[in-house]
Amino acid sequence: MEASLAGDLFTGAPILLEDNPAADFSDTPWWLSMVKAHMVFVYLLVQVLIVIWFERRVIGRMQQRPGPNRFGPLGLLQTLADGLKLMMKEDVTPRDADRVMYVIAPFLVGALAFVSFAIIPIGGEVEMFGHTTPLQLTDTPVATLLVLAVAGVGAYGFVLAGWSSGSTYPLLGGLRSTAQVISYEIAMGLALVAVFLYAGSMSTSQIVAAQSSLWYVVPLFFSFVVYIITMVGETNRLPFDLAEGEGELGGGFHTEYSSMKFAMFFLGEYINMFTVAGLATTLFLGGWQAPPGIAAINDGMLNQGWWGVLWFTAKMWMFIFVYVWLRGSLPRVRYDQFMKFGWKVMIPASLVWVVAIALIRSAQVGYFGEGRWALPITLVLVGGSIVGGLLLLDKKLADAKEAKLAARRTPTEVDPFAQGHPVPPLPGQTLVERPRAIGEEPVTVTTTARPAGEPTAENDPDTPEDTRG
């Protein structure tokens, strides 16, 4: 890997990355990898137990009610009680269900939720049982793409759950969820492309290392905003939980599920929340590295070893709070509006942004001239992109406004038989003369608008009540 591929935003000052395109696991035996896998599993399960209680308490406060406060101190054991209740509930399988797929679907969703977290670095290198190993289960040169691949396969769990239930509403919910995940996965991938162009790597450990001097949330703020929107859509959370719309789908794809199969879907949902939040932390907020001010304390001692787990968890919970805040604040959007926003706004805007970032990186590494020209070329490219985008947006808004006004204008001439049956004219309209039979005289009927304030049959006090309307 060339060092110049990762550098400062404007000057292009290189940040030296390791020659290895992924994290170093040379001193990590297989049994230590198993230990770390169990640690990740326990770490996520504990996070899920806490976040369910946290979400219910925070939304309760936002809605001026206490939330869970009976089982355990401050209701901390309420999640455990709910889990025990689900385990003891009757497991019912619908008569018309495809039993094999009906059982596989929830476990597919729950299992794949843990897989994506394997490539996210929770901390730096630490000493464990006499070995030096990264606090990361695995890493590859294309590790970030694994998250997108697992998200795509996870969509099968939703559509299989809806189809195998043998019911109409779960099937519609599964199809909705599949279309939603696929649509917003495209915009999410485009948001990640900007990070790849800037870091010069798809390895999560190398992306974290490239942010040692500047977190990518600053130069790639637009990609950060796009990713935040898409990660809410990917995880089926409010205001984008359209696969579970109670008003039209019942419970969505899991309507026919009960007991622990029902719980597996929600376990997968909450694990996916932490996965996309952890990926956002890794790609945009410096990963496990301490904030700049704290990182300089005591010669960087607070930015090494196990301290990374603390900073990573704190950053990840910032995104979890956004999830909870959105659920307690925003109503569910309409499905067609949500899909239109993804295909007509998010994806085109992300494509333009990726092109702009590619030009900026080309300017910084010297393809457009010497290094001293990187700053002005970058400013011109960014400014031109912003101006062009604003002009295009203004034209689109003007066209939409004109189309809306044209739709509201009342036509002056109408054909009463255009729809196959006679339609009376509105005030101010003229009926179009139509061809008549031989010997039949053409008739033109013109109606005029009623003067303002003139009583009608509906509001005239002299009109008998039984003839109004």
Q: Is residue 418 part of a domain?
A: no
- Residue-wise DSSP of 69-118: -SSSGGGTTHHHHHHHHHHHS-----TTS-HHHHHHHHHHHHHHHHHGGG
Condensed to tens digits (0 to 9), the pLDDT of residues 342-361 reads 888 889 888 888 888 887 77
Q: What pLDDT score was predicted for residue 469?
A: 45
Please write the tens of the pLDDT for every residue from 363-411.
Answer: 666 555 555 565 566 667 667 767 777 788 788 888 888 887 776 766 6
Low-confidence winner among 127-141, 280-294, 421-435 (lowest mean pLDDT): 421-435
Phi, psi of 126, rounded to the nearest 5 degrees? -135, 165
Same domain, 362 and 292: no
Q: Which structural domain, as residue segments, surrounds residue 358? A: 334-406
Domain boundary at 329, 347, 368, which? 329
Residue 441 lies in a domain: no
Give the C-alpha distances (Å, rounded to integers) separating 37 from 119, 140, 373, 436: 11, 16, 48, 84
Q: At residue 132, does pLDDT exceed 70?
A: yes
Q: pLDDT confidence of 467, banded at 50, 70, 90? A: very low
Residues 119 and 205 occupy one common structural domain: yes
| 157 or 4: which leads in pLDDT | 157
Instruction: Tell me the average pLDDT across 428-432.
Output: 71
CB of 104 closer than 8 Å to CB of 111: no
What digits encode the pLDDT tens for the residues 207-246?
A: 988 888 888 888 888 889 999 999 888 888 888 887 776 6
Which whole number is the average pLDDT over 130-142?
A: 85
211 is a domain residue: yes
Q: Compute the mean pLDDT over every residue in the chain, rounded to the nearest whole number.
A: 78
Instruction: For residue 427, tell me if it sits in a domain.
Output: no
Residues 37-72 have pLDDT tens digits of 899 999 998 998 899 999 999 998 888 888 888 888
Calculate Rg over the CA atoms of the chain: 30
Nearest to 138 by CA among 54, 222, 34, 46: 34
pLDDT band at 281 (very low <50, low <70, confident <90, very high): very high
- pLDDT at position 321 is 92
Residue 372 and residue 248 share a domain? no
Contact 323, 162 (CB under 8 A): no
pLDDT of residue 422 exceeding 70, the answer is yes
CB proximity list for 194: less than 8 A, separation 6 or greater? 220, 222, 223, 353, 354, 357
The alpha-helical segments, DSSP class H, found in 409-441 are: none
Dmax of the chain from CA atoms? Answer: 108
Q: What is the pLDDT of residues 8-45, one digit of tens each?
A: 444 444 444 444 566 777 778 888 889 988 999 999 98
Q: Are residues 241 and 263 in the same domain?
A: yes
Compute the distance between CA of residue 255 and CA of residue 382 in angstroms, rounded to an integer.
48
- Residues 145, 193 within the same domain: yes
Residue 2, pLDDT > 60, answer no
How far is it, in rounded angstroms, from Cα 148 to Cα 185?
7
Confidence (pLDDT) at 436: 55
What is the per-residue pLDDT across 137-166, written as a single tens digit (0 to 9) for each? 888 888 888 888 887 787 788 888 888 888
Establish if 345 belongs to a structural domain: yes
Task: Please name which of 324, 331, 166 lies closest in space to residue 247, comparing C-alpha atoms.
Answer: 331
pLDDT of residue 441: 54
Residues 342 and 321 in one domain: no
Cα angle 323, 281, 210 (rounded to 5 degrees) comes to 160
Q: Can you tell me the mean pLDDT for 422-428? A: 72
**32 and 133 housed in the same domain:** yes
Q: Is the pLDDT of residue 318 over 90?
A: yes
Contact (Cβ atoms closer than 8 angstroms) between residue 241 and residue 253: no
Task: Please say which residue of 329, 347, 371 terminates a domain.
Answer: 329
pLDDT digits 0-9 by tens, 162-218:
888 888 888 888 888 888 888 888 888 888 998 998 888 888 888 988 888 888 888
Q: Which of 406, 430, 448 is where one domain is finished?
A: 406
pLDDT of residue 319: 92
Report how many domains make up the chain: 2
Tens of pLDDT, residue by residue over 89-125, are: 888 888 888 888 888 888 888 888 888 888 888 888 8
Length of the chain in terms of residues written: 469
Residues 313 and 347 in one domain: no
**Same structural domain for residues 238 and 306?**
yes
Phi/psi-derived region of residue 133, left when phi > 0, alpha when psi is between -120 and 50, beta in every other case: beta
Count of Cβ atoms closer than 10 Å to residue 409 Cβ: 7
> Within a domain: residue 415?
no
What six digits make up the tokens of 310? 């603390």
423 falls within a domain: no
Smallest CA-to-CA distance from 277 within 47, 453, 19 is with 47
Angle, CA 374 vertex, CA 13 and CA 388 arms, to 5°? 130
- The C-alpha atoms of residue 93 and residue 102 are separated, in whole angstroms, by 8
pLDDT at 13: 44
Q: Half-sphere exposure of 278 toward its Cβ, with a 13 Å CA cutoff?
A: 31
pLDDT at 464: 53
Token pair recorded at residue 138? 């695995």
48 shares its domain with 74: yes
Model confidence at 248, in pLDDT bands (50, 70, 90)? Answer: low
Residues 349 and 400 in one domain: yes
Domain contains 394 = yes
Its pTM stands at 0.75
Check whether 314 has a pLDDT greater than 50. yes
Q: How far apart are the first and last CA of the chain?
A: 79
Residues 324 and 339 in one domain: no
Q: Please give the Cα distance from 469 to 37 (Å, whole number).
A: 73
